[in-house]
């Protein structure tokens, strides 16, 4: 027998004396110094004949005994946060609660059909084998089942008896497989499998024809490819349909993203990887404008030298003004190479690791310390960053990119090995996607094609329907091989087959000194002239101006009521805050706090809310780190603030005006910020 804590003994005695209908024996297992923990239900509890409600949460119970049947009036048992081995094999006990875990005993007059759903979260549940046995007939008619945050490794075949089930929540378990028979749950409309250990998704999932909500986030899938999973149910169905018609072929390619400060040696590294004999120019490399892309670097796959592996090298410019736009091209499922000039010690390792953590989502990182004439005074602490970012696989390599050919060859071999071991390598894709990609690559010199031509290429390669063609364009866009805003009516017909061409146009806007001198203002004629000088045609300029506005790259917005089309790029605004009056009383306040705030969030917010930018003597109330927005007589001030002690940056919002209008405008600002988080910064971990 386990001892009963003194406090619990007193609570039981009081309940017996008072004929209580409720008894709380909630444990304190989180407190190392507490003795209030139950390993078994005390025998004295079964003598409390008037008991209707029993709280046993937060203890160390492994099972619920059948003696509970002696409590004839018991209706509810709270067993939250107990490490139960399995759901108790006890007829008549049904779980149903929104916030806590309660067994509700069904009275004889209540038919099983009255039980709508069962919720059983965070209990350490490992097995379900007995739960759906014939003795548990009350479960057969339930419509929803929530078994999230447990330790389930498999689902029993018997779960398919729940034919009325419309919602099934299994997130945060340890499921490695799904039974093929899950297709018997024909009424299922919502299935949440996120944060499990599944590696493959069975094709049978597509037979759940009523399924409209499928959450597969945070799962290390190898099949279908992650880019397919992220596109949702229709994309998954299309993938399996094409795979069954064409067969599949493994994918042996990857992106290598080279990042770091300006002048660190990124471009030299890229060229040395491709050609170890490359000779540096006497004056050194020109600084990279935007991103330089080198596609189709081929080498033997390190796991099987008979297979050719293809890497795409993206060399990112190191000037801070370019960081905001980098966000649209930094991807996960890539190898990141962080290059630092080891002699100068000016690398902002904190910034780059935060950025890679945010955008890379667990991608491996190779830190290359460019020693320069073999002089090393490194300030890079490998162990520190490994502890800080345990989800990242971080490696370090020192080399003199100017002289050390032997070390460069070793570095090249490491890069090839790490690229070959990326988790997505070997993903199976439908065979006909390969010739489609090759046909698009063959037209790279055209820079872009119309949508009709893209569909024709798909049709020539046995992909006949438009839905499948659109899905392939989304997949290739996710890989960074093309750019296609297929859901934008202004850009749908604009399929960019040479991303380098687009990148150069986007960064040309930010790099021109005239624009900075004009405090971010420019006319359409000016930007068109700039692009045309770089070889872009007039119709291309019309498309590009749409690309850099709201819902695409969010670099600029058009000012109202100007005879000549005039734009503002908020990223190039002056830092000085303009003068304006503000009434402090009765303000609404809200704050988004960021462990790491990506560059340009305020600039993008200004573009997204450009129609609500407040004016002060015909000048917009916007600056580099803030803005004022208005709706009628209501105003919202949004500013970036730093806390030098904690290193936390925050966006502070205060709103003045009439009560309801204040709430409405605050909701709009918060909604736009969250839209950006969801679209571009899903791993941001903001606290608000």
* Region of residue 597 (phi > 0: left; psi between -120 and 50: alpha; otherwise: beta): beta
Q: How far apart are CA 255 and CA 314, in angstroms?
A: 7
Query: Under CATH, which number does the domain 6-195+207-215 receive?
Result: 3.80.10.10
Residue 106, pLDDT score: 31
- What secondary structure letter does DSSP report for 351? H
Residue 98, pLDDT score: 32
Pairing label, strands 334-341, 304-316: unpaired
Cβ–Cβ contacts within 10 Å for residue 198, how many?
16
395-441 pLDDT, tens digit per residue, is 999 988 877 788 999 999 999 999 999 988 888 888 888 899 899 99
Q: Which position has the token pair 């069975």?
A: 202
User: Per-residue pLDDT for 552 more than 70?
Assistant: yes
Buried/exposed 205-230: b ≥16 CB within 10 Å, e otherwise: bbebeebeebebeebebbbbbbbbbb
Q: What is the chain's Cα-based Rg?
A: 30
Using DSSP's 3-state secondary structure scheme, residue 145 falls into strand
143-175 pLDDT, tens digit per residue, is 888 888 888 888 888 788 888 889 999 999 999
Using DSSP's 3-state secondary structure scheme, residue 645 falls into coil
pTM: 0.73
605-615 pLDDT, tens digit per residue, is 999 999 999 98
CA 601 to chain centre: 17
Listed in order, strand segments (DSSP E) in 440-488 are 448-449
* Average pLDDT over the chain, rounded to an integer: 83
User: For residue 115, what pLDDT band results from cuts at 50, 70 and 90?
Assistant: very low
Q: How far apart are CA 174 and CA 90, in angstroms?
A: 25
CA nearest to 593, candidates 648, 544, 638: 648
- CATH 3.30.310.200 residue ranges of the chain are 588-680
Angle between helices 499-511 and 524-533 (to 10 degrees): 130
Residue 582, pLDDT score: 92
CA nearest to 330, candidates 349, 353, 350: 353
Q: Any idea what the Cα angle at residue 568 is, between residues 657 and 449, rounded to 5°?
A: 125
CA nearest to 127, candidates 61, 32, 194, 62: 62
Q: How far apart are CA 685 and CA 677, in angstroms?
A: 9
User: Per-residue pLDDT for 371 more than 90?
Assistant: no
Q: Any idea what the Cα angle at residue 128 is, between residues 122 and 134, rounded to 5°?
A: 135
Average pLDDT of 342-370?
Answer: 84
Q: Which two tokens stand for residue 487?
A: 């859901």
According to CATH, the topology of domain 588-680 is: TATA-Binding Protein (3.30.310)
CA dihedral 447, 452, 455, 460 (to 10 degrees): -90
Q: Which two tokens stand for residue 111?
A: 């038919």
CA nearest to 676, candidates 565, 589, 601: 601
Contact between 181 and 216 under an 8 Å Cβ cutoff? The reply is no
Contact between 309 and 301 under an 8 Å Cβ cutoff? The reply is yes
Q: How far apart are CA 510 and CA 521, in angstroms?
A: 11
Alpha-carbon dihedral sign for residues 324, 325, 331, 335 = negative
- What secondary structure letter does DSSP report for 180? G
Q: Which two tokens stand for residue 414?
A: 């490491």
Average pLDDT of 557-561?
Answer: 86
Residue 132, pLDDT score: 59
Residue 639, pLDDT score: 95
Q: Please report, for residues 8, 146, 166, 334, the alpha-carbon distance to residue 186 in angstroms, rounded to integers and kept in the order given.
A: 47, 18, 8, 38
606-660 pLDDT, tens digit per residue, is 999 999 999 887 789 999 999 999 999 999 999 998 877 777 889 999 999 999 9
- CATH 1.10.10 residue ranges of the chain are 499-572
Burial class of residue 594 (count of CB atoms within 10 Å of its CB; 0-12, 13-18, 19+): buried
Helix (H) or strand (E) holding 76: strand 76-78
- What secondary structure letter does DSSP report for 286? P
| Widest pairwise Cα distance in the chain | 94
Residues paired with residue 526 on neighbouring β-strands, in sequence order: none
- CATH 3.40.50.300 residue ranges of the chain are 253-420
Is 253-420 a CATH 3.40.50.2020 domain?
no
Buried/exposed 125-156: b ≥16 CB within 10 Å, e otherwise: bbbbeebbeeebebbbbbebbbbbbbebebbb
According to CATH, the topology of domain 499-572 is: Arc Repressor Mutant, subunit A (1.10.10)
Cβ–Cβ contacts within 10 Å for residue 41, how many?
21
**Cis peptide, bond prior to residue 224, ω within 30 of zero:** yes
User: Which phi and psi angles does 577 have, rounded to 5°?
Assistant: -75, 130
Residue 53, pLDDT score: 83
Alpha-carbon dihedral sign for residues 355, 357, 361, 363 = positive
- CATH 3.80.10.10 residue ranges of the chain are 6-195+207-215
């Amino acid at each position: 027998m386990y001892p009963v804590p003194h406090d619990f003994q007193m609570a039981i005695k009081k309940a017996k004396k008072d004929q209580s209908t409720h008894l709380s024996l909630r444990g304190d297992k989180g407190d190392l110094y507490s003795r209030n923990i139950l390993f078994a239900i005390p025998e004295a509890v079964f003598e409390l004949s008037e008991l209707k409600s029993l709280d046993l949460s937060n203890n160390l119970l492994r099972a619920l005994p059948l003696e509970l049947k002696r409590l004839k009036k018991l209706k509810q048992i709270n067993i939250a946060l107990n490490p139960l081995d399995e759901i108790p094999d006890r007829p008549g006990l049904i779980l149903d609660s929104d916030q806590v875990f309660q067994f509700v005993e069904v009275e004889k007059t209540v038919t099983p059909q009255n039980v709508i759903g069962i919720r059983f979260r965070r209990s350490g549940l490992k097995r379900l084998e007995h739960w759906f046995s014939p003795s548990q007939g009350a479960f057969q008619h339930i419509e929803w089942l929530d078994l999230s945050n447990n330790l389930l490794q498999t689902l029993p075949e018997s779960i398919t008896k729940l034919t009325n089930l419309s919602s099934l929540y299994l997130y945060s378990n340890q499921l490695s497989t799904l039974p093929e028979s899950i297709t018997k749950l024909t009424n299922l409309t919502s299935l949440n499998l996120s944060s499990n250990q599944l590696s493959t998704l069975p094709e049978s999932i597509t037979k759940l024809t009523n399924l409209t909500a499928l959450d597969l986030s945070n799962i290390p899938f190898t099949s279908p490819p992650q880019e397919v999973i992220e596109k949702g149910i229709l994309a998954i169905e299309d993938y399996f349909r094409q795979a069954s018609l064409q067969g599949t072929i493994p994918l042996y390619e990857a992106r290598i993203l080279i990042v770091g400060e300006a002048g660190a040696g990124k471009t030299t590294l890229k060229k040395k990887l491709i050609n170890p004999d490359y000779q540096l120019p006497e004056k050194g490399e020109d600084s990279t404008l935007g991103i330089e892309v080198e596609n189709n670097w081929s080498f033997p796959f390190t796991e099987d030298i008979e297979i050719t592996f293809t890497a795409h090298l993206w060399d990112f410019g190191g000037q801070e003004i370019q960081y905001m736009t980098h966000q649209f091209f930094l991807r996960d499922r890539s190898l990141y190479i962080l290059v630092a000039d080891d002699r100068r010690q000016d690398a902002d390792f904190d910034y780059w690791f935060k950025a890679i953590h945010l955008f890379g989502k667990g991608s491996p990182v190779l830190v290359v310390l460019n020693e320069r004439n073999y002089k090393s005074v490194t300030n890079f602490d490998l162990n520190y960053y490994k502890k800080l970012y345990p989800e990242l696989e971080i490696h370090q390599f020192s080399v003199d990119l100017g002289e050390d050919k032997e070390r460069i060859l070793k570095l090249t071999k490491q890069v090839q090995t790490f690229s070959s071991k990326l988790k997505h390598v070997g993903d199976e894709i439908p065979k006909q996607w390969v010739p489609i990609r090759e046909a698009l690559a063959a037209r790279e010199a055209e820079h872009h094609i119309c949508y009709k031509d893209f569909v024709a290429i798909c049709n020539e390669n046995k992909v006949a329907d438009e839905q499948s063609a659109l899905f392939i364009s989304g997949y290739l866009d996710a890989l960074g091989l093309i750019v296609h805003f297929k859901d934008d009516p202004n850009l749908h017909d604009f399929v960019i087959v040479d991303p380098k061409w687009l990148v150069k146009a986007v960064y040309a806007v930010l790099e021109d000194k005239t624009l900075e001198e004009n405090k971010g203002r420019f006319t359409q004629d000016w930007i068109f002239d700039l692009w045309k000088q770089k070889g872009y045609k007039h119709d291309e300029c019309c498309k590009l101006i749409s690309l850099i506005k709201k819902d695409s790259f969010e670099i600029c917005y058009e000012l109202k009521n100007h005879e000549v089309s005039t734009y503002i790029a908020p990223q190039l605004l002056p830092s000085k805050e303009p003068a304006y009056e503000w009434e402090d009383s009765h303000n609404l306040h809200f704050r988004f706090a960021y462990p790491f705030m990506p560059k340009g969030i305020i600039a993008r917010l200004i573009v997204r809310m450009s129609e609500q930018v407040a004016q002060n003597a015909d000048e917009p109330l916007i600056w580099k780190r803030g803005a004022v927005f208005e709706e009628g007589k209501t105003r919202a001030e949004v500013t970036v603030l730093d806390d030098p002690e904690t290193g936390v940056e925050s966006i502070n919002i205060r709103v003045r005006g009439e009560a309801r209008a204040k709430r409405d405008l605050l909701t709009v600002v918060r909604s736009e910020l969250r839209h950006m988080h969801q679209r571009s910064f899903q791993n941001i971990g903001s606290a608000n």
